[in-house]
Amino acid sequence: MTDKITIDVWSDIACPWCYIGKRNLETGLAQTAADPDAPQVEVTFHSFELSPDTPVDFEGDELDFLAGHKGMPRERVREMLDQVTGVAAGSGLEYRFDLLQHTNTVKAHELLHFAKAQGRQNEMAERLMSAYFTEGKHVGRVDDLVALAAEVGFDADEVRDALESSRHLADVRADQAQAQAYGIQGVPFFVIDGKYGVSGAQPADAFAQITRQVWTEKQDA
C-alpha cells in the first residue's frame, strides 16, 4: 500500500486568502477522488500569525486595521477587500468584511491544535474560518472559541481548560519556528509531501494536478 500524500498547510484564521486556498485545495482533491487510482491524502494545518501584535478586542473595522497596519489609503484598502470578496465568491465563499471582527488569532491556533489531537482539525478550521469571514463572529476570546468548538462537537469544559492553560501554545510556536526554517513569509503556504512548496491560494485545478503528479511519483518510486 502506497503511503498517503501529506499536505502541510501554513495559514492564519484571519487571512482571507487562506480560506480561499483551503476551499480550492478541497475542490482540487475532490477532483482527484474520482480517479481510478485516487490519491490518498492527509491534510494538516499549521499555525502562522500574520499580525501577532493585534489586540484581542481591536477597536475599529477591517478598513481601520489594514489602513493602520499597512499604511494604505482607506479607498485603496476598500478596493482590495472588494477584490478578495470577488475571488472568494468564485470559490463559493461569501465574505462579509462589513461584519468581520478583527482580533488576535493565537487562541484560535491553540484550538486548532486541540482539535488536531482529537483527529478533527479540518472541521475546526472550517468552523473558525466560516465564523470569522462569513458570519462576523469573534474568534479571539476564549468564551467565543469554546462555543464554536462545542458546535463542532467538542466538550466545552475540555476546550476551556486547554485554552485557559495555554496547553497547546508550544505547538503553535513550533509551527511558527518550522515556517521560519522553511523561509515561509506569507500564507497560505502548502508543503506537498515534504518536498514541494506551493505559495498562495492556487486554483483548484493546480492542486489537483500536483496531487496527481506526486501520487504517480510515489507509486513509481
For 3-19, the pLDDT digits (tens) are 999 999 999 999 999 99
Is the separation of the CB atoms in 190 and 48 below 8 Å?
no
What residue numbers bound the domain in which 108 lies? Answer: 5-220
**pLDDT digit string, tens, across residues 130-179:** 999 999 999 999 999 999 999 999 999 999 999 999 999 999 999 999 99
Q: Is 50 exposed, middle or buried (0-12, 13-18, 19+ CB in 10 A)?
A: middle
Report d(CA 155, CA 19) in Å as an integer: 25
**pTM: predicted TM-score of the whole model, two decimal places:** 0.96
Report d(CA 8, CA 26) in Å as an integer: 13
Residue 60: give its domain's CATH number: 3.40.30.10
Number of domains in the chain: 1
Residues 168, 172, 177, CA angle at the centre, nearest 5°? 140
| pLDDT band at residue 26 under the 50/70/90 scheme | very high
